[in-house]
Amino acid sequence: MIDPEPTASHFINGEYVEDKSGKLVDVIYPATGNVIAQVNAATPEILEAALNAARGAQSRWAALTGTERGRILRRAADIMRERNRELSELETYDTGKPLQETLVADASSAADALEYFGGIAGSLTGEHLQFGEDFIYTIREPLGVCVGIGAWNYPTQIAAWKGAPALACGNSMIFKPSETTPLCALKVAEILCEAGLPAGVYNVVQGLGDIGAALVTDPRVAKVSLTGSLPTGRKVYSAAAEGMRHVTMELGGKSPLIIFDDADLDDAVSGAILANFYSSGQICSNGTRVFVQSGIKDAFIARLKSRVGSAVLGDPMDEKTNFGPMVSEKQLKIVEGFIAKGLAQGAKLICGGERLDKPGFWLTPAIFSDVRDEMTIANEEIFGPVMSVLEFEHEEEVLKRANATEYGLAAGVFTQNLQRAHRVVKALQAGTCYINTYNDAPVEAPFGGVKMSGVGRENSKAAINHYSQLKSVYVRMSELEAPY
């Protein structure tokens, strides 16, 4: 096992940097509750150093060809894959997610982002428009210094999903990880540097929300990309608006998963498990409102309960474990509060929802049935292993109920009726829809929300437009006429 203690708290201008006068932040291993490392939050001096480094490096980085930038990102992807086990262990220490998951879902997804955006960096272009002899061309330009702010559930992936497109376009970045999981982003910075990234292009600073807030309002910053909750999103979006900064907002969700009675039952149960219990339910796009058509509801619940009952809760570093602890005592208490509300409002707890009597933040996967639309557990984002099963009769009815939420991150449908599947996803208000699957998020596909789930898209070519802008150049070749 690796030693989770970082070399230093921050990574600025190509090297690890420490300032011990910053507020101390404990890094707690969720599986035991033990403090496994400590970092210091950024001081004003650290923030200044990061901002100056990012500002100073950006124009030189942008002056490289896209191919040169891309080569460095792709090299970083290779290093990340070579160091997959070490990075996966660190992700497990940071988040508590089982190694069985982190070995395939975290550093590998981060590497995919670096490889993908490294691959397209050399072909990022503007356009040419001809008007007779005259023409217009557009130049695709970077935005400048970008700030990335991360949530705690996918610390390696979020650091790379934001960094890769930003750097491919010629921006520099300051990334602030969540205070709950500060370790992984430092490794992303270290690996980028090892791959040849010029000093100052990608920097990591630690801290709580106040450090994020200080970055968002700094006049040197051109763009802010946040992954976090809706309340934080509201604050960051309005703070960024003051300076007309570009924003990407990857926020929360309360996504519907609709299971029609013609669905393959085993697939539907697998989908519901993937949509609710992977990463102990701590995934923004989770389909936590599981609408099941009345004809199969009992059979669905019976099969689901038996499958979930076989989840292996144990040492996350043991590759046989497939269900880990929650990230923190705070998050566990929030989720327990929702479970209590579900019970008080009359939902039926089919199984789970119990705290394990051992150190760490362990909660067994919970399934509620008899959930009604107006209940708190059917309306608010829980961000934990709590599934709500709601019954429905008809397609029109379920679509109305599925869309009756302020969120719109994802949605899923299980059916074998092709026409219905496409009709339903067309009507669902969500940034990502799944047909007979759930929670895939390859870098090639745009990812992001509608309504209160966010603004902009990560991944895919769509992300390029969120990290660059077009300058139009008008060129007159014909004689120029003026009215006087």
Catalytic positions, written as ranges: 162, 250, 284, 458
Q: For residues 92 and 86, what is the distance between their CA atoms, to the nearest angstrom?
A: 10
151 is a contact residue toward ligand NAD (CB under 6 A)? yes
Residues 152, 237, 300, 362: which binds ligand NAD (CB under 6 A)?
152
Stretch that binds ligand NAD, among 50-58, 88-96, 165-173, 206-214 (CB under 6 A): 206-214
- Per-residue mark of binding to ligand NAD, 453-482 (x: CB under 6 A): -x----------------------------
Q: Please work out the total of residues on this chain that contact ligand NAD, with binding judged by CB under 6 A.
A: 29
Q: Which stretch binds ligand NAD (CB under 6 A): 100-108, 149-157, 338-346, 386-394?
A: 149-157
Stretch of 251-259, 294-302, 352-360, 463-471 lying at the interface with ligand NAD (CB under 6 A): 251-259
Q: Name the residue nearer to ligand NAD (CB basis): 111 or 185.
A: 185
Q: Which stretch binds ligand NAD (CB under 6 A): 4-12, 136-144, 204-212, 269-277?
A: 204-212
CB under 8 Å to 81, separation ≥6 — which residues?
107, 108, 111
In the bound state with ligand NAD, the residue whose beta carbon lies nearer, of 44 and 295, is 44
- Is residue 96 within the footprint of ligand NAD (CB under 6 A)? no
Nearest to 311 by CA among 389, 388, 383, 365: 365
Q: Is 225 in the site for ligand NAD (CB under 6 A)?
A: no
CB of 113 to ligand NAD, least distance (A): 13
Q: Which is nearer to ligand NAD, 63 or 244 (CB)?
A: 244
Nearer to ligand NAD, 179 or 395 (CB): 179
Contact status: 407 vs ligand NAD (CB under 6 A): no
Q: Which of residues 104-123 bind ligand NAD (CB under 6 A)?
A: none
Structure tokens belonging to residue 34: 């033990």
Report if residue 209 touches ligand NAD, rule: CB under 6 A.
yes
Region of 126 (left: φ > 0; alpha: ψ -120 to 50; beta: rest) is beta
Instruction: Kindly tell me which residue out of 110, 111, 145, 284 binds ligand NAD, with binding defined by CB under 6 A.
Output: 284
In terms of CB distance, is 101 or 395 closer to ligand NAD?
Answer: 101
- In angstroms, what is the minimal distance from the CB of 130 to ligand NAD? 40
Q: Does 328 bind ligand NAD (CB under 6 A)?
A: no
Question: Which part of the chain contacts ligand NAD (CB under 6 A), choosing from 53-61, 133-141, 148-156, 273-281?
Answer: 148-156
| 107 Cβ neighbours under 8 A, 6+ residues apart | 80, 81, 83, 84, 87, 88, 91, 156
Count of other CB atoms within 10 angstroms of residue 144: 19
* 95, 100, 102, 178: residue in contact with ligand NAD (rule CB under 6 A): 178
The single residue among 179, 190, 336, 395 that binds ligand NAD, judged by CB under 6 A, is 179
- Taking alpha carbons only, the member of 178, 130, 129, 127 closest to residue 155 is 178
Q: Which of 232, 248, 279, 405 binds ligand NAD (CB under 6 A)?
A: 232
Q: Closer CB to ligand NAD, residue 381 or residue 395?
A: 381
For 340, other C-beta atoms within 10 Å of its C-beta total 12
In the chain, the amino acid numbered 181 is T
- Give dist(CA 1, CA 89) in Å, integer: 7
| Residue 250 within binding range of ligand NAD, rule CB under 6 A | yes
Q: What whole-number distance in Å separates Cα of residue 203 and Cα of residue 205?
A: 7
Min CB(330)–ligand NAD separation in Å: 9
State the minimum distance, in angstroms, from the CB of residue 125 to ligand NAD. 28
Nearest CA to 174 out of 133, 218, 118, 231 is that of: 218
CB of 103 to ligand NAD, least distance (A): 20
Residue 383 binds to ligand NAD (criterion: CB under 6 A): yes
> Residue 391 contacts by C-beta under 8 Å, 6 or more apart in sequence?
291, 292, 293, 294, 297, 370
Determine the residue with CB nearest ligand NAD: 212
Residue 212 CB, shortest distance to ligand NAD, in Å, is 2
The residues of the shown chain that bind ligand NAD, judged by CB under 6 A, are 149-153, 176, 178-179, 208-209, 212-213, 216, 227-229, 232, 235-236, 250-253, 284, 381, 383, 409, 449, 454
